[in-house]
A = this chain, B = another copy of it.
């Protein structure tokens, strides 16, 4: 049975509800989202498979999740490098960056060089609010991610994919197929085109909220903040 998905519009409404009547702050949600991502990375690529990890962060919330994940990965013993070319002026993102600087995590503006000296990659460039064209400087970054043979973990969506329809028909991102996807709270419709290992993260959703938005809270195990689920794309 395929997992239920939620549209970009529903995901935006869900976030808004969690942060109003749900009582969550964005700090809290982002902390739990980034923690989920870090746990999926640890599960798929434990540090003994290579400690160097390049975390590519976009300008919005997806990038913030990446900044949180990078911090947890650093505490787990990885050596993260952060590519964050379009830094948000929002104070939350500045604080998340400061937390990384205090851990001596390097920030780089040179994506190709960073890519040539890493063991795996976290793609936290665009999330469910992405639509339209990939803007500068990200087209070259997405293209490099398409071409690399290194394993990539995408946060919520493979960056450049349309949230409903999956990979673009042509151009940048049309052949981008990351090894791992971590869907946050619920998978988005694009998962039907995804062929890698699929995790769901965000172990904070009340059953009543999942019911309202018509998705399933997956069966997490133990104290895990992520759970691996069958990949829809394999079944097409």
State the interface size on chain A (CB cutoff 8 A): 35
Contact B75 A204 (CB under 8 A): yes
| A65 CB, min distance to chain B CBs, angstroms | 13
B residues near A222, Cβ cutoff 8 Å: 42, 76
A98-109 CB contact bits vs B (8 Å, 1 = yes)?
110011000000
Query: Does B220 lie within 8 Å of A98, measured CB to CB?
Result: no
User: Within the complex, what minimum Cβ distance (angstroms) separates A49 from chain B?
Assistant: 14
Interface flag for A134 (CB, 8 Å): no
Binding site for B on A (CB under 8 A): 21-25, 27-28, 31-32, 35, 38-39, 42, 71-72, 75-76, 92, 94-99, 102-103, 203-204, 206-209, 220, 222-223
Residues A102 and B206 in contact in the complex (CB < 8 Å), given A75-B220, A76-B223, A222-B42: yes
**Which residues of chain B are within 8 angstroms of A38 by Cβ–Cβ distance?**
223
Question: In the bound complex, do residue B23 and residue A99 qualify as a contact, i.e. CB atoms below 8 Å apart?
Answer: yes
B22 touching A99, Cβ below 8 Å = yes
Q: Once the chains bind, are B23 and A96 in contact (CB under 8 Å)?
A: yes
Select which of B27, B97, B209 is within 8 A of A28 by beta carbon. B27
Residues of B within 8 A of A32 (CB): 31
Give CA–CA (A187, B27) in the complex, Å. 26
* In the bound complex, CA of A102 to CA of B205 (Å): 9
Q: Are A23 and B95 within 8 A (Cβ)?
A: yes
A52–B68 Cα distance when bound, in Å, is 32
* A-B pairs, 7 with minimum CB distance: A23-B98, A23-B95, A27-B27, A102-B206, A25-B27, A27-B28, A23-B99
